[in-house]
Structure 1
Amino acid sequence: MDTLSYLQQLIDQTVLGISLMRFVIVFAVLFIAFILKRIIAHFFTKTIFKAAQKTSTQTDDIFLKSLNKPIEFLVIIIGLYIGVEILQLPKQPTNLDQMARNGLQLLLTSNLAWFCYNLVSLLEYWLSHWAGRTESTLDDHLVPFIRKTLRVFIVFLAILFLVQNLGYSISGLLASLGLGGLAVALAAKDSLSNIFGSLMILLDRPFTIGDWIKANDLEGTVEEIGFRSTRIRTFAKTLITIPNSVLMNLSIDNYSQMPKRRIKLTVGVTYNTTPAQMRQAVAAIRTMLKEHPAIHQDFFLVNFTDFGASSLDIMVYCFTTSTVWGEYLDAREDICLKIMETLANMGLEIAFPSQTLYLHDMDQEKEEKKEESKS
């Protein structure tokens, strides 16, 4: 009985007005919480992760990895919450109960921010998968930028919630941050406009790397698209760097997006060509275009169109099947040569710019007028 009495007295002893029995119960609750944490960790590692690896997508793997540690920590927070409820901490002279509950709120907010911070990896996976299907490298560089921005934003929000949970007013902090952000925005106005220009290039896709474009007097091949600027290699082999904000305000002509390239020629033959020969020449050129492998057969025109100053003009209007500059020039050259051969075989001459000068003898005209007057 003396031992039981001693144990009873020990249990009845208090610390800060709380019996030792409650501390023992709280210790048992925390012990169970740690055991549950280990069980959940084992369950995730041995069961859930293995099941997720059998699926064809990586989405569930990334989501579970983002959830694993925060859910384990949540079990500890629940154990601490139950412990605070059991202890019933004193509120006088210092409100220990409120301090403990504020601490639990801090832990819960931190845990939620931790989960959201990890969950950004899932968004990064989706964006990377989407960016991998495009030819441009801009979106590949944009994915890490979005990831870092979102994580910084999550940490910033978490800090604001923590400060508010501690009982401090965040209105003054937000006001100061607003003024500071305005100053930074004004200082970095050009950089931000270039970044927005990069986003517009990414979303609208007026061109990609390797495209041949023309913007006002600027013409060349796109070599690199960055956050701040785009680099274009001109045909003179110089490298021009133009800010994205400036480039997006220009009218861009993308030659690489042409489905076919146009050939437009005016062939002039001499005025001694007869109507029958002109009809034969037009028909022969049409037949040649119809049989040419490099000419698009959907649409072409060959017509006698004008009486020129020194020639009878035949318009040749067609499109090549290839848009490659070198192949287009080869096709154009072959068309011109075959037109020359066709006209030569028919005995027709290609006219060149010329003028006919008629000379009039003024003295002879005066003599003729005198003779007319005498008669």
Structure 2
Amino acid sequence: MGSLLLTLLQLTTDTIDTFILIGGAAATGIVIWVLGNRLKTRVQTANAEVIRSALILLLTAVVAGVLLTQWGATETALSIVGVFEFGIGVGIRILLTIIMAVAAYTLTRILKRLLLGANSSTNRITSEHQRRVSFYISQVAIYIVAVFALLSLWGVQLGDLLLGAGVLGIVLGFAAQETLGSILAGFILMLSRPFAIGDWVRIGDHEGFITEITINNVRLRNLDGEHVVLPNEAVNNRTIINRSIEGKLRLRVEVGIDYDVDPDHAEAVALEALTELEEIMSQPAPQVLPVRFDDSAVILELRFWIDKPTPQRKWRATQVVIHNVKAAFRREGIKIPFPQRELMGRKETGGFRVVDDELSGQPEPDSHPPTSSTDRSE
């Protein structure tokens, strides 16, 4: 009778403990669910769902393990789920694999928030390009460490794996030379940083604005509104001209003056016309320099700078410079000559002969007189 009472009392205690454990787990699950909803306001919704689901899954596994241990049904549960045939070590390895995968993913998300987040303290001391490159390199390093750790956990011989990877790499290298070359060139572009998104560049024969830089190619929008995709390997092999990186750009316009005009006076007039314009920079100051003798004019080169260079600002500055300098030359009587040619006849042929206007309409006399009828008969 006493043993029966003890058994009933033990069952009652276990039942109470079970209900307490389940109630505590349910309360903890509710808290996790509420915190997950608040987490959506700080991170992306998909990431918040993953974190919340992982925590609830972990909580369920812990509660199930405690209940099975408390009721002494561990062996039965293991045999039911099929883990018993493989051994407890396999189950532990599977659990560690899941934990390591979740930890690696979580660490990369934390790094992304620290390096690329809008409120990151590193934003004040590094550029966006440097932070992005740092994140990509850190992400690859974390995943490589996680993969090697998992392989060691499952007893994979890394030496044999590396040997096989080397042979496979040689085969893939021959099969995908262009793709691998573009990927390698992409890393070189990200590290050397010849341009950034939004820059006005000229790459080979293509000119436009950089819209995207990926690990495989570079995309730019040219001045006609067309989107051009250039493989990274081709970009590295071409001349790159970046017109935005300095924040200013020097332009040149040539103008010719008559040989009878004083060059110093023409230079002063042109320079004064340039200094009146708001479309060009005052510092560095514009310049007017004679550069060469042309067929019918002395050529002056107008050099001036614009800030925040874009094609529209370049064309607008060139337009106002030409209009203003031409108007200033007209006011000062400085002639911009038309192309002229000087013709000279050779002395051996008698040179040129100017025909009078009154005689120009009459036919020229024939140099050979007509033959007489007597001559024709002969």
Superposition TM-score tier, normalisation by shorter sequence = 0.5 to 0.7
Contact (CA 8 Å) 2:286, 2:303: kept in 1 or not? yes
User: Residues of 1 paired with 2:231 and 2:208: CA distance?
Assistant: 16
Q: Does 1:105 align with 2:96?
A: no
Q: CA deviation at 1:292?
A: 0.9
Contact (CA 8 Å) 1:260, 1:321: kept in 2 or not? yes
Q: Structure 1's 35 and 161: CA in aligned 2 closer, same or farther, altered over 3 A?
A: farther
Q: Structure 1's 341 and 170: CA in aligned 2 closer, same or farther, altered over 3 A?
A: closer
Counterpart pick for 1:325 among 306, 311, 314 = 311
Q: Structure 1's 105 and 307: CA in aligned 2 closer, same or farther, altered over 3 A?
A: closer
User: Residues of 1 paired with 2:292 and 2:194: CA distance?
Assistant: 43
Aligned residue in 1 for 2:248: 260
Q: Structure 1's 71 and 200: CA in aligned 2 closer, same or farther, altered over 3 A?
A: farther
- 1:159-178 aligned at under 5 Å gives the runs 160=151, 163-164=154-155, 175-176=163-164
- 1:93-242 aligned at under 5 Å gives the runs 101-103=88-90, 105-113=92-100, 115-116=102-103, 119=106, 122-123=109-110, 126=113, 129-130=116-117, 154=146, 158=150, 160=151, 163-164=154-155, 175-176=163-164, 179-180=167-168, 182-184=170-172, 186-202=174-190, 204-208=192-196, 211-222=199-210, 225-232=213-220, 240-242=228-230
- 1:41-80 aligned at under 5 Å gives the runs 42-43=27-28, 45-46=30-31, 50=35, 53=38, 57-58=42-43, 65=52, 67=55, 69-70=57-58, 73=61
User: Residues of 2 paired with 1:237 and 1:58: CA distance?
Assistant: 35
Q: Does 1:316 align with 2:302?
A: yes
The residue identity in structure 1 corresponding to 2:293 is: G
Contact (CA 8 Å) 1:41, 1:68: kept in 2 or not? no
Contact (CA 8 Å) 1:211, 1:255: kept in 2 or not? yes
User: Residues of 2 paired with 1:270 and 1:249: CA distance?
Assistant: 45
User: Residues of 1 paired with 2:308 and 2:158: CA distance?
Assistant: 64
User: Residues of 2 paired with 1:154 and 1:41: CA distance?
Assistant: 33
Aligned residue in 2 for 1:287: 272
Gaps of 5+ in 2: 76-83, 349-378
User: Residues of 1 paired with 2:171 and 2:71: CA distance?
Assistant: 48
Contact (CA 8 Å) 2:202, 2:240: kept in 1 or not? yes
Q: CA deviation at 1:298?
A: 0.6
Provide the aligned length of Structure 1 versus Structure 2: 322
| Alpha-carbon displacement from aligned partner over 1:251-280 (angstroms, at most 9, x marks no partner) | 311234452333323333222224xxx544
The residue identity in structure 1 corresponding to 2:31 is: K
Q: Structure 1's 264 and 162: CA in aligned 2 closer, same or farther, altered over 3 A?
A: closer
The residue identity in structure 2 corresponding to 1:296 is: M
Gaps of 5+ in 1: 11-23, 88-96, 363-375
The residue identity in structure 2 corresponding to 1:214 is: R
Q: Structure 1's 38 and 196: CA in aligned 2 closer, same or farther, altered over 3 A?
A: farther
Q: TM-score if structure 2 supplies the norm length?
A: 0.60
Q: Does 1:340 align with 2:326?
A: yes
SS at match of 2:185: helix
Q: TM-score if structure 1 supplies the norm length?
A: 0.60
Aligned residue in 1 for 2:281: 296
